[in-house]
Structure 1
Amino acid sequence: MTPPGPPGTAPAAGIARVPLAAAGALLAGAYIAVALGAVLLSRESGKMATLWYANAMAMVFFQFRPSRDWAVLTGALAVAVVTVNALTGRDFGLSLLFLLGNGFEVLLGAALLRRFCSPAASLQEVCALLKVLLLGGVVPPFFGALIAAAALSADGGDDFLAIWLIWFEGSALGTIALLPLGMLLLVRGWHSVSQDVSRPEVVLGLMLVSVVAGWAPQWVEHPYIYVSTSLVLLAVIGHMAGAASAALLVSIIVGVLTAKGAFGPVAETDAFGEALFYLPLILTLVPPVLLAASLERTRYTLRRLAESEDDFRILYNETPAMMQAVDPQGKLVSVSEAWCQRLGYRREEVIGQRPSEFMTAESRGRALGEIWPRLLREGRIDGAELQMCTRSGAPVDVRISAIRQRSLDGGLLRTLAVLTDVTEEKRLAEQMTYLAHHDALTGLPNRMRFEGAIQHACVHGHRHHDRFAVLYMDLDQFKHINDTLGHGVGDELLKAVAQRLDATLRDSDMVSRLGGDEFVMLAKNLCSREDAGAIARKLVKRVAQPVLVGDVTINVSISLGIAVFPDDGKTPAALITHADQAMYRAKRNGRNQFCFFSEVSPEGDAPAHG
């Protein structure tokens, strides 16, 4: 059941009260202003997709009015679209094509939000907010882009897929960035939201986010890490109002930087490359807003807990959350049923015990030495992470938010805490981190992790004059094996080869799968080139043993090229390229052998098949 929102949740904004004609004029004027800004930016950004906020603004605008007013608002929207196209030099026929896509997108989004989404719930529930972002920010741009791409490509002969992708990514990103703030205005009204945003800590947080979003994309290698950190900070201190405002602000700043050429793909790319360029921005904006919604829910629960003892006891008995109350002596006086069920204890077994007795040793030290004193000193904690233990000893990762409750005479009465089980969340996060740096088929480190390792090795090598080698490997005749025995057998062969390579590693080495049948090894701590040759000889011999896949015995071998730092290259790109060239020389020399780059002809070696 959706909980009631805080005071000011009625949609009392002026848009809901103005006459219909004035509302239509306001919609048209706002749409024209926002759309013109986006069009002007798109002309500077070249082929990079425009961040399109106009349709999202119209969707939210429709939510303020009853459904009977939507026909008039649709007319105002049509006038606005045609006007924007006229002001930007497009003819009337082309304007109608743009109207078809934009109009459908706005009406579909408005209808889906009205029919399936609860604005109030979206501010406090992660799933409800995700539904809003999906039904408002993904589905309508998807179909609107289809319609627009079909119409525009048929009219002008332009590439359908390129039009669809640019339209979809620009509109989806703009809508996802604006919708959380739109839902907030719809539920709480402009006055309440402006009060939240004008709090000093929120203003300072927005200033910090603006500085980071304007600086990081231009000056650091992974800008979204810094932007995401500032957004998460603002989500914690600024609640939903701060997080939603910051998400929109960051998207605008990144859009302007992209339009001005200060930020963008590192090289010329196609439409799919542009889509991948914007994907990290979406992944940066959404989690902090979801975090803010989750924290809103936690804060709301804690406020209710503090209101009355009766409500407190009822909530303990019926809530699905893990909750606990601790007396001034640091002993449990109450725990929720969910707490007991998750940890496997009966309530009578834990009352009177200290909460730290149900934690791991490391968490027990942190709780007693850091978290508990801070709670008593500051009066509250939010999002502290601890690890509990079930009766069987299994660890349970929890995120705890707690408040200190004082008695009428000012003494400590109790502390109230909500514990969120994040065990599965952490497991999934660890799994995603693993998959981001490892090959899914073989389990070896992937290209991303190898590139980081060789970059570090080059820096270390320059600084300490160390010698290391890059060994580039390719299976011989692998395409023939795939074609004759099937890709399933080929995959099993790749896994077997990967295991043999991994088993040959020294502690300081790393072997990675780059893709297909290509592997690369980073061999460190070499005294001479002969050390690299010894490793290569061992690899060639180890791999060149028959592999049994099912009932099929496969004779396998590798061709291997070696580039030694710093003799054969001083940068990651040079070393990999030279090792690759040496590998092709090994193939031309008969396969099942290795070759140093120094043995390659000055003209280089062209790729040899298999």
Structure 2
Amino acid sequence: MGQRITGKVRAAHGADDPAMAAELELPNPRRLLIISIVAIVLLGLSVVIAAAYSILSINETAISVETERAEVALEVVLRDGAPDAAAATRLADDFVLNGARFGDAASALPGEVSLAVPGSQTRLLWTPRRIGSELAQHLAPIRLLASALFLAGIGIVLNRLYRLTRLLEARRRAAQDLAARDTLTGLANRLGFEQQLARSASGPALLYLDLDGFKHVNDSFGHGAGDELLRIVAARLAALAREGDCVARIGGDEFAFLRSPPTSRAELAELAADIALALSEPVRLGATQIQIGASIGIAMGNEHEDRARLVAAADAALYRAKALPGHAFVFADSPRIASAA
């Protein structure tokens, strides 16, 4: 039995145990929610950037076309006169050059473009139409409405996703708890014990128990009575646990009591005596009253840093205790025998 349990503990620390591997492969719903929010934000940013780039591209194209038209218009106007105010007015009215005027490059206002006047230091200045920006302004109400609808839709999606995430998280935890729980007694099962052992701080102590007389109960009163006895034993063991301890049914009539540190040899001996006393109290099964006991093997965590060796030591101590007459508990590191009866 020691090799079998030790192998299970090794599997709990590695990737060979299918249940543990499946747990590690489960997606984290909270992470999925965060990834979804980031993806939505990136999508929104991409839409905004694409719209801004489109506006800039349309503006640059419009300015380029208007500059070409201004070159032709300037050539036509200067055939009839000098670059003066009248010529500027004609350029503004006849050739649709908004705010056309003549001046030097230093007098250009923000947003204006300039064009050199042939044979002169003077430049033609005007404010070109930025069609992309004008179109964006005209479409602003529609854009705001579409943005509001988009944000509302995103809010609904995020709310649904958040609720779904919480539901998935609750079901995942419930499934994990169910997988690590013994359905008959409500205690941790072997998987739950291995998980708790893997998470426990350094120096936990382990008491490994085997019921004395359980086979006789099953044979004499049936498996239903045996199940009821196991539930009573589980309740008595759980009543002796303190915060941080783990009481588990390993299988059949075998139980494990993992005592969290700090602890001492004297405390563990007292706990083993309390367990033996609690289990020796008579149990009524139907019209019959029976009495059982337990053999206990104890391993100190500070003497077995490796979790697998801790379990193996407690299991070996249990076999030594079972070989003794009466109900006994035995420390794994000592040949001395302590009677719990």
Per the normalisation by structure 1, the TM-score is: 0.31
Shift of residue 449, structure 1, vs aligned partner: 2.1
Alignment of 1:400-549 (within 5 A): 408-411=142-145, 412-414=147-149, 415-416=152-153, 417=156, 419=160, 422=164, 428-457=171-200, 460-461=201-202, 467-549=203-285
C-alpha separation between the residues in 2 aligned to 1:497 and 1:228?
Answer: 35
Q: Do the aligned partners of 1:437 and 1:445 also contact (CA within 8 Å) in 2?
A: yes
Q: Do the aligned partners of 2:205 and 2:263 also contact (CA within 8 Å) in 1?
A: no
Cα displacement string for residues 461-488 of structure 1 (whole angstroms, at most 9, x for unaligned residues): 2xxxxx4321000110111111111111
Q: Do the aligned partners of 1:585 and 1:600 also contact (CA within 8 Å) in 2?
A: no
Cα displacement string for residues 12-52 of structure 1 (whole angstroms, at most 9, x for unaligned residues): xxxxxxxxxxxxxxxxxxxxxxxxxxxxxxxxxxxxxxxxx
In the alignment, is residue 573 of structure 1 matched against residue 308 of structure 2?
A: yes
C-alpha separation between the residues in 2 aligned to 1:427 and 1:222?
Answer: 18
Alignment of 1:22-41 (within 5 A): none
Cα displacement string for residues 524-570 of structure 1 (whole angstroms, at most 9, x for unaligned residues): 22443111101111111111101123333221211111111233x33
C-alpha separation between the residues in 1 aligned to 2:21 and 2:260?
Answer: 31
**Secondary structure, counterpart of 2:144 in structure 1:** coil
Select which of 530, 554, 564 maps to 2:300. 564
Q: Structure 2: where are the runs of 5+ without partners?
A: 1-13, 46-139, 337-341
C-alpha separation between the residues in 2 aligned to 1:484 and 1:217?
Answer: 43
Select which of 324, 327, 332 maps to 1:589. 324
Shift of residue 453, structure 1, vs aligned partner: 2.4
Shift of residue 426, structure 1, vs aligned partner: 5.8
Higher RCO (C-alpha under 8 Å, 6+ residues apart): 2
Alignment of 1:108-507 (within 5 A): 229=27, 379=44, 408-411=142-145, 412-414=147-149, 415-416=152-153, 417=156, 419=160, 422=164, 428-457=171-200, 460-461=201-202, 467-507=203-243
In structure 1, what residue type is equivalent to 2:278? R
Q: Do the aligned partners of 2:207 and 2:256 also contact (CA within 8 Å) in 1?
A: yes
Q: Do the aligned partners of 2:206 and 2:256 also contact (CA within 8 Å) in 1?
A: yes
In structure 2, what residue type is equivalent to 1:477? G
Change (3 A) 1:441 1:223: closer
**Secondary structure, counterpart of 2:333 in structure 1:** helix
Other-structure match for 1:87: none
Q: Do the aligned partners of 1:582 and 1:599 also contact (CA within 8 Å) in 2?
A: no
In structure 1, what residue type is equivalent to 2:329? F
Q: Structure 1: where are the runs of 5+ without partners?
A: 1-215, 238-294, 296-370, 381-405, 462-466, 602-610
Choose between structure 1 and 2: higher helix proportion: 1
In structure 2, what residue type is equivalent to 1:470? L
Q: Do the aligned partners of 1:544 and 1:556 also contact (CA within 8 Å) in 2?
A: yes
Q: Do the aligned partners of 1:581 and 1:600 also contact (CA within 8 Å) in 2?
A: no
**Secondary structure, counterpart of 2:210 in structure 1:** strand
Cα displacement string for residues 354-395 of structure 1 (whole angstroms, at most 9, x for unaligned residues): xxxxxxxxxxxxxxxxx8xx9899659xxxxxxxxxxxxxxx
Identity %: 33
Other-structure match for 1:551: 287
Q: Do the aligned partners of 1:562 and 1:582 also contact (CA within 8 Å) in 2?
A: yes
Per the normalisation by structure 2, the TM-score is: 0.54
In structure 2, what residue type is equivalent to 1:503? A
* Bigger Rg, structure 1 or 2: 2
Q: How many residues align?
A: 217
